[in-house]
Amino acid sequence: MRKRLASILALLALPSLARASAEHPYDPHPPPTLAWMLTQLVPSPELGFGAPRAAFGVRWQLTPILYSWGMYRKLSPWRTFVVEPLTRQSGSIEVFASPENLAGEWLFRTGVHATFPLLERGEKLALTLGAGAVLGTEASAEFEGGFSILFGALGLFVSYAPRVTASPATVMLRFRWF
Amino acid sequence: MVLRAALLALTLAGCVTTAPPPHRIAHAARPDARLAVSWIGHATMLVQIDDRFVLTDPVLVDTIGAGVSHRKVGVPIDPADLPPLDAVLISHMHSDHLSLDSLAKIEGRVHRLYMPEGGLVYLTNFRFDAVDLARWETVDDRGMQITAVPVQHLGGRYTMDTWMHAFTGYVIRYHGITVYFAGDTAYDARDFRETARRFGPIDLALLPIAPIHPRSIMESIHMDPGEALGALSDLGARRMIPMHFDTFVDSFDRPHEARDDLARLVHARHLEPRVTVLEIGETAKVE
């Protein structure tokens, strides 16, 4: 348990490692505040579609690491866990980790997302595409895509994991704040 | 109160249409003026000091805040008609002051953009150079000095970024002319007097006069017209042009309430020679 706790704390400390910026002395990585932690606990609801019927689920989302190509060039493009909305929405690629409970079963999704700005540098509308794996009682490759609005706070995402027999397709209403 | 809240909600829902501006700016440059100011709306001012042009908090689009909030009055100038901009000043990160779509429209004509310290993280990768200034930091840009000066406001953009304190006012000095731009600020006599002590005499102060209501919330972050006149006195500025009113519905204020309150107070205090109220799209030559 202590090792797990130490691992989590070490991961949360990673933002300090991403502060490097050759050109600019004031380049703060956003800190993992209590408010941020609480918002990360809010899950996004989803519906899984498959046999025998649609199932309700919830999904959490974490970003162990993100690279932004849209943010201003004088700043470090790297972020760990805490990511400002514009840093993601203006064009980025990230590793995602998503614990999920779908119809009572715990799953874990991980892979890579790329987000592309469509309107107002992505603050008004952005497209996200991704691929990865679903791990649970069944394992499968998965593909994801969706649109997000309002600084990325609200999104509609579709996932498809062909080898998850109970719910290969899911539709998620994504809530995300940082 | 209920009606005002309903109006605010309708505006946020995009149900308020954008009216055409009362004036249009066809020729932004005034060769006959040493100091001239055009009000483009809200906190967007085009300031001409001799041959230099400075644009403050540019909002050159009809919607802000990821498309949520609409202008009541349209943009009075085609961005293509703006002169080459020696400096663009961003006072803070709220959507009505930092509009990325607006910056995209003027990207090719901006020499350098200035932000408060820490603000660059709210900027995308535009072609122009951008620098952030710490409080009281001055940059000399080809003979024009730009200094970040303290004001009282909020620094984030997304409500949760409370660690961010990226907000500032600016003092611009060029060829012996000094202009103060407050951005958004609450009334703080100490800040204004210290700015006056360091930079006075100030020729022109661009000061916000709204939103006013609900005052219990606004007073810690926004001046009302009476406080703006207090700031004018503290700054010791020769002239004042008010801004940040009648462009967006962002409060419970009645239409034109801030402008009317200011006019009444200016008259009562005999300040007419020092205060010039512009309409959107209007240009004033400051003598």
Cβ(B153)–Cβ(B135) below 8 Å: no
- pLDDT over threshold 50, residue A11: no
Cβ(B68)–Cβ(B102) below 8 Å: no
Q: What chain A residue is nearest to B100 in terms of C-alpha separation?
A: A120
- The band of A13, judged by pLDDT with boundaries at 50, 70 and 90, is very low
Helix/strand/coil (H, E, C) string of B147-176? Answer: EEECCCCCCCCCCCCCCCCCECEEEEEECC
| From B118, B121, B160, residue closest to A35, measured CB to CB | B160
Q: B31-54 pLDDT, tens per residue? A: 899 999 999 999 999 999 999 999
Contact of B67 with chain A, judged by CB distance below 8 Å, is answered with yes
Interface size A-B, in CB pairs within 8 Å, comes to 75
For the residues B124-140, what does the mean pLDDT come to?
Answer: 96
**Which tokens in the block code for residue A123?**
């603050």
Which helix or strand (DSSP H or E) is residue A85 part of?
helix A85-89
Name every chain B residue with its beta carbon within 8 A of the beta carbon of A70.
124-125
Mean pLDDT check: name the lowest of B13-27, B245-259, B267-281.
B13-27
Mean pLDDT check: name the lowest of A169-173, B4-8, B26-30, B139-143.
B4-8
Q: A57-100 pLDDT, tens per residue? A: 999 999 999 999 999 999 999 999 999 999 999 999 999 999 99
Name every chain A residue with its beta carbon within 8 A of the beta carbon of B121.
27-28, 71-72, 75, 84, 86-87
**Which tokens in the block code for residue A121?**
């540098």
Contact of B129 with chain A, judged by CB distance below 8 Å, is answered with no
Q: Name the amino acid, one letter, at A13.
A: A
CA A37 distance to own-chain centroid? 14
pLDDT at A103: 86
pLDDT at A64: 96
Contact: A120, B160; criterion CB under 8 Å: no
The reported pTM is 0.88
Q: Within a 10 A sphere around the Cβ of B17, how many other Cβ atoms?
A: 10
Contact of A87 with chain B, judged by CB distance below 8 Å, is answered with yes
Contact: A150, B66; criterion CB under 8 Å: yes
**C-alpha to C-alpha distance for A62 and A79, rounded to whole angstroms:** 12
Contact: A33, B162; criterion CB under 8 Å: yes
- The band of B163, judged by pLDDT with boundaries at 50, 70 and 90, is confident
Number of independent structural domains in chain A? 1
Q: Name residues whose C-beta falls within 8 Å of residue B21's C-beta, 6 or more positions apart in sequence.
A: B41, B73, B74, B75, B76, B280, B281
Q: What is the CATH number of the domain that holds A165?
A: 2.40.160
Q: Which domains does chain B have, with CATH numbers?
A: 2-285 (3.60.15.10)
Contact of B118 with chain A, judged by CB distance below 8 Å, is answered with yes
- pLDDT over threshold 70, residue B135: yes
ipTM given for this complex? 0.84
Question: What is the domain extent for residue A106?
Answer: 2-175
- pLDDT over threshold 80, residue A24: no
Q: Between residues 197 and 216 of chain B, which touch chain A (CB distance below 8 Å)? A: none
pLDDT at B179: 98
Cβ(A96)–Cβ(A111) below 8 Å: yes
Q: Name residues whose C-beta falls within 8 Å of residue B90's C-beta, 6 or more positions apart in sequence.
A: B57, B97, B98, B113, B114, B115, B116, B119
- The band of B11, judged by pLDDT with boundaries at 50, 70 and 90, is low
pLDDT at A147: 97
Q: A31-62 pLDDT, tens per residue? A: 888 888 998 999 999 999 987 778 999 999 99
Beta-strand relationship, A154-160 and A140-149: antiparallel
- The band of B14, judged by pLDDT with boundaries at 50, 70 and 90, is low
Nearest to B43 by CA among B22, B64, B67, B68: B64
